[in-house]
Copies of this chain bind each other. A is one copy, B any other.
Amino acid sequence: MNGKTRREKERVARRKQILAAARVVFSRKGYHHSTLEEIARKAQLGKGTTYWYFSGKAELFLAVLEGVIDEQLLKVKQAASEKADCRSRIEGIAREQLEHFAKNQFLTRILSSEVVFKTQEMKRRMKRSIDERYAVYTELVEDVLREGISRREIRRVDVKKMSHVLLSVLHSLVYYWHIKEIKPRPAEDARMVCDLVFEGLER
């Protein structure tokens, strides 16, 4: 039982090692300019070794992506489950998300747009993988909004669309930080977004 477990543990450790290295490299250079050579070197492993853990570059990229999103989901879940009024919880979610985006800025941008895969097969897999996680996320936000509506803290809105719009605004702030070369300020920006979304422009 011990020998096998040891092996098992080592395998998991190696996987993490590779994923960590890959995350850094993909983040810095985007998918196409990253090479397995560099990733393997950074993970202090031979190039061939990565193929024992991931069936190829595409698979590895997908795994990195899923890891990044899962980490984020975890934090967002915590923020959503806080005992507080609707607005505070939304602001909390926004803050967590922006913090996470700030840490994984470039990767987030790849996620949202780089045309990574050539084969339809992989494109579909990537889409499915992101969709699943995205659904979990929007459900969380929807629940918070729904509760807010039932508590009469906010007015009746299409919670589906609104939950997405919220994510969108946050998401696009990353782009703003990037093109304006601004140092990200997650807390501050989270508040601003909430002010806008809750109070609107009028009056």
Contact = CB atoms under 8 A, between A and B. Distances in A.
Interface string A12-36: 0000000000000000011111000
Given A168-B176, A169-B168, A176-B168, A162 B201 contact: yes
Interface stretch (A2-10, A58-66, A192-200): A192-200
A121 interface: no
Contacts of A198: 200-202
A54 interface: no
Contact of A201 (B114, B130, B134, B197): B197
A190 to B, nearest CB: 13
Contact of A202 (B32, B155, B162): B155
Given A169-B169, A176-B168, A196 B115 contact: no
Interface of A: 29-33, 87, 106, 109-110, 112-116, 118, 127, 130-131, 134, 148, 153-155, 157-158, 161-162, 164-165, 167-169, 171-173, 175-176, 179, 192-193, 196-203
B196 A165 contact: yes
Closest 3 pairs (CB-CB, A-B): A30-B115, A200-B200, A168-B172
Contact of A112 (B127, B153, B169, B175): B175
A31 B115 contact: yes
Nearest to A116: B30
Nearest to A127: B179
Contacts of A131: 179
Contacts of A114: 30, 110, 113-115
A96 B161 CA distance: 20
Contacts of A118: 29, 33
Nearest to A189: B161
